């Protein structure tokens, strides 16, 4: 089991860190009472489901933070391996973030934010000193922090591996899928619906696919479509997105859209290496 304690200054990015770790397969619990950490570690160790666990501990624990050293000693005694991740930022950056979000510091409700930051830094000094991973987020954007965490906890290619692309076919007559990130209209292609022997078939049938791809129009569209997708997806990954929905639409969602959803999903999977899910929303209507 990988057991990670996540701590740091308020406003330094702990929420982003825990969300990123969750995306990386960690079972995350935020603000767990300090006195329950050892018990939680024992339960996680006995669970087949929880191979990677992250626990958020910060200034909200109050005076119980003083017991964290005892908790670490108990984990050592039980031979439960653990690591500590600490997120920090300069006082000026933390102050700016609090002012931008109009939040009070947890140690100075209604008081001066500067005083809260100073008190918190003192309270977290020992945790920071014992940390295995220290990330200063002063100059990091959210997606850059995600990338740093991915490099540490899952290797440099984790964004590439974790990117999930859903390619969906649909019929415009039933409405555009609301979760679409990219929508492509393929109603300009030859329509098998008007061919009697193809009308009851779908884009999953070879005869329909061949009909849709006949001539230069389908071939040229596919080339330009794949070039665009190959250009766009790495940019989405760089921005920290871990899932994209690409929707292909025709009139009824049975022939042309299914054909291109299948071909697009296969291209992305074979040539880009992302995790691909292909779904045909209206094929049975």
pLDDT tens readout for residues 138-151: 988 888 888 888 88
- Confidence band, pLDDT 50/70/90 cuts, at residue 273: low
- CB half-sphere exposure, 110, CA atoms < 13 A: 0
- Confidence band, pLDDT 50/70/90 cuts, at residue 159: very low
pLDDT digits (tens, 9 = 90+) for 21-50: 998 889 999 988 898 999 889 888 877 777
Instruction: Return the pLDDT at 274.
Output: 81
**Cα–Cα nearest to 257, from 191, 164, 175:** 191
Tell me the pairing of strands 82-88 and 182-185: unpaired
- Confidence band, pLDDT 50/70/90 cuts, at residue 162: low
Report the 10 Å Cβ neighbour count for 125. 10
- Confidence band, pLDDT 50/70/90 cuts, at residue 157: very low
Mean pLDDT of the chain: 89
Alpha helices in the chain (DSSP H): 14-23, 37-46, 68-77, 91-101, 113-123, 125-129, 142-154, 158-162, 196-199, 206-212, 215-238, 256-271
- Confidence band, pLDDT 50/70/90 cuts, at residue 272: low
Instruction: Please give the Cα distance from 179 to 177 (Å, whole number).
Output: 6
Q: Using DSSP, state whether 198 is helix, strand or coil.
A: helix
Least confident of 12-16, 60-64, 85-89: 60-64
Does residue 272 contact residue 232 with C-beta atoms inside 8 Å? no
């Amino acid at each position: 089991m990988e057991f990670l304690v996540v701590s740091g200054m308020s406003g330094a990015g702990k929420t982003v860190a825990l969300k990123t770790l969750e995306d990386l397969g960690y079972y995350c619990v935020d603000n767990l009472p300090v006195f329950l950490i050892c018990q939680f570690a024992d339960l996680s160790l006995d669970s087949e489901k929880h191979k990677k666990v992250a626990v958020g501990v910060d200034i909200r624990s109050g005076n119980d933070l003083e017991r964290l050293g005892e908790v670490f000693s108990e984990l050592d005694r039980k031979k439960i391996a653990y690591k500590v991740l600490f997120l920090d930022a300069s006082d000026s950056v933390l102050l700016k973030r609090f002012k931008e979000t109009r939040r009070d510091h947890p140690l100075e409700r209604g008081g001066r934010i500067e005083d809260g930051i100073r008190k918190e830094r003192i309270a977290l000094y020992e945790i920071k000193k014992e940390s295995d991973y220290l990330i200063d987020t002063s100059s990091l954007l959210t997606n850059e922090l995600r990338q740093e965490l991915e490099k540490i906890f899952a290797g440099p290619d984790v964004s590439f591996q974790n990117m999930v692309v859903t390619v969906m076919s649909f019929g415009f007559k039933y409405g555009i899928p609301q979760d679409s990130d990219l929508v492509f209209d393929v109603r300009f292609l030859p329509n098998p619906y008007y061919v009697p022997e193809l009308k009851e078939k779908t884009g999953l049938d070879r005869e329909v696919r061949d009909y849709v791809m006949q001539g230069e129009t389908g071939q040229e569209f596919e080339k330009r479509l794949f070039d665009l997708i190959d250009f766009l997806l790495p940019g989405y990954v760089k921005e920290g997105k871990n899932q994209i929905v690409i929707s292909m639409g025709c009139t009824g969602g049975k022939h042309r859209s299914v054909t291109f959803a299948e071909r697009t999903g296969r291209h992305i999977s074979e040539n880009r290496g992302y995790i691909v899910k292909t779904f045909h929303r209206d094929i049975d209507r």
